[in-house]
């Protein structure tokens, strides 16, 4: 729940709903002046900065604010979500047109959905279910094996460091030792994550021989990334997953040029419209994955989950395109197919971006 609460707080702040309570004020109720900006109060809220005139300073009020942020989002979440899933074009069009009070802003909803997905994945896994008891037993054994291997790796690192120091004292060169130490240090980091339960040992794979697989490109920087990814696939996957959460916002600017091209000759829509469209769309897809993960946890068949994953995105894209931009069936249909291709292309660019950030 910590991730969900954090997401609600962050999204609430992005959405402009945050309160700036005066920390140094002694009063706990209505006063003559706003505790935030000092403006004379004319009603329940300050007409200059919007802060409430009545400020609570109790532990109960703090917990109320947290629960309010998680479950209510000022009531706008429950007004936004049904429209976002059933009539996404309407909520997007109305938000662009200026109806802001009734809806959660696209960026706030997107941030909250990402935090929610992280929390759900951490607790119950993804749409295709949690790890079985048999796998859990295998994972426990694998963690024990990882702890034994960690002790061996650390002993070898100590030996190589002593050998490197002795060689440097004699004026010798140490590039081979440096490379070996680098590989062992990376493996050490991975094994520590496995023993702590951060990485799942059941998905670790046998290191790939880069030369045998013909994966060398001749570009030193790229070959360096490939070598370490092949030697430590689990650590690479963990880094990519962590980076994906951290840089998920980058999907929005990556997607914008593709949407812009679809409406190249439309002068009545601009980049802002496309940004709102993309952000609401990404939020909807993220929340769909969260919903399917919860459904899987309560026993929804995998075949049904797979069908939703296959058919919901294009159906949602079609309805959102049609409603947002006022398109006919033909215009919405061909743009839906183009947007699906664009989405895969944007995902590939995002993946390359993540690899580059972790290089």
Please give the model's pTM, rounded to 2 decimal places: 0.66
Handedness of CA 212, 218, 221, 222 (dihedral sign): negative
Instruction: Yes or no: say if 37 and 144 are a contact pair by the CB < 8 Å rule.
Output: no
327 within 8 A of 318, measured Cβ to Cβ: no
225-256 burial, b at 16+ Cβ within 10 Å, e below that, comes to bbbbbbbbbbbbbbbeeebbeeebebbbebbb
**80 within 8 A of 20, measured Cβ to Cβ:** no
45 SS3 class: strand
User: Which range among 16-20, 116-120, 324-328 shows the weakest confidence by mean pLDDT?
Assistant: 16-20
Residue 54 near residue 29 (C-beta atoms within 8 A): yes
DSSP label at residue 163: H
Dist CA 106 CA 102 (whole Å): 12
Q: What is the pLDDT of residues 32-46, one digit of tens each?
A: 888 888 888 887 888
Average of pLDDT values for 62-69? 64
Give 52's strand partners: 45
- Strand, coil or helix: 191: helix
pLDDT of residue 22 exceeding 60, the answer is no
Count Cα atoms within 13 angstroms, Cβ side, for 209. 2
Q: Model confidence over 192-239: pLDDT tens digits? A: 877 776 666 544 445 555 454 455 555 565 566 666 666 666 666 667
The pLDDT value recorded for residue 179 is 79
pLDDT of 164 strictly over 60 = yes
Q: What pLDDT is attached to residue 28? A: 44
Burial-class residue 109 by CB neighbours within 10 Å (0-12, 13-18, 19+). buried
What span, in angstroms and rounded, lies between the C-alpha atoms of 14 and 101?
14
Q: What is the mean pLDDT of residues 328-357?
A: 91
Q: Do the Cβ atoms of 232 and 146 come closer than 8 Å? A: no
pLDDT surpasses 80 at 339: yes
Q: If you average pLDDT over each of 43-52, 70-79, 211-220, 258-267, which comes out highest?
A: 258-267
DSSP code, position 73: G
Q: Tens digits of per-residue pLDDT, 301-336?
A: 889 999 999 999 999 999 999 999 999 999 999 999
* 336: its two tokens: 């839906």
């Amino acid at each position: 729940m910590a991730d969900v609460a954090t997401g609600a707080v962050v999204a609430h702040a992005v959405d402009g709903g945050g309160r700036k309570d005066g920390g140094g004020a002694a009063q706990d109720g209505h006063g003559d002046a706003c505790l935030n900006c000092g403006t004379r109060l004319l009603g329940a809220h300050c007409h200059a900065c919007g802060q409430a005139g009545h400020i609570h300073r109790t532990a109960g009020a703090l917990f109320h604010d947290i629960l309010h942020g998680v479950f209510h989002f000022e009531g706008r979440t429950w007004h936004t979500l049904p429209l976002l899933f059933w009539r996404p074009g309407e909520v997007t069009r109305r938000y662009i047109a200026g109806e802001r009070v009734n809806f959660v802003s696209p960026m706030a909803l997107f941030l909250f959905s990402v935090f929610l997905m992280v929390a759900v994945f951490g607790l119950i896994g993804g749409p295709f279910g949690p790890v079985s008891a048999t796998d859990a037993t295998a994972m426990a054994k694998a963690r024990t094996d990882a702890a034994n291997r960690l002790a061996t790796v650390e002993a070898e690192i100590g030996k190589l460091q002593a050998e490197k120091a002795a060689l440097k004292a004699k004026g010798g060169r140490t590039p081979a030792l440096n490379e070996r130490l680098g590989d062992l240090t990376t493996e050490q980091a991975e094994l520590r994550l496995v023993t702590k339960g951060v990485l799942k040992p059941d998905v670790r794979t046998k290191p790939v021989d880069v030369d045998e697989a013909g994966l060398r490109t001749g570009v030193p920087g790229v070959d360096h990334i490939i070598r370490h990814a092949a030697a430590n696939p689990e650590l690479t996957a963990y880094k990519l997953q962590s980076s994906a959460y951290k840089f998920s916002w980058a999907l929005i600017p990556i997607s914008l040029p593709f949407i812009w091209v679809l409406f190249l000759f439309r002068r009545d829509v601009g980049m802002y419209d496309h940004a709102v469209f993309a952000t609401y769309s990404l939020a909807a897809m993220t929340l769909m994955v969260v919903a399917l993960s919860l459904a899987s946890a309560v026993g929804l068949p995998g075949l049904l989950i797979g069908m939703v994953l296959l058919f919901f995105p294009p159906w949602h894209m079609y309805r959102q395109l049609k409603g947002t931009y006022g398109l006919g069936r033909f215009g919405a249909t061909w743009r839906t197919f183009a947007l699906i291709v664009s989405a895969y292309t944007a995902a590939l660019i995002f993946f390359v971006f993540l690899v580059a950030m972790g290089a």
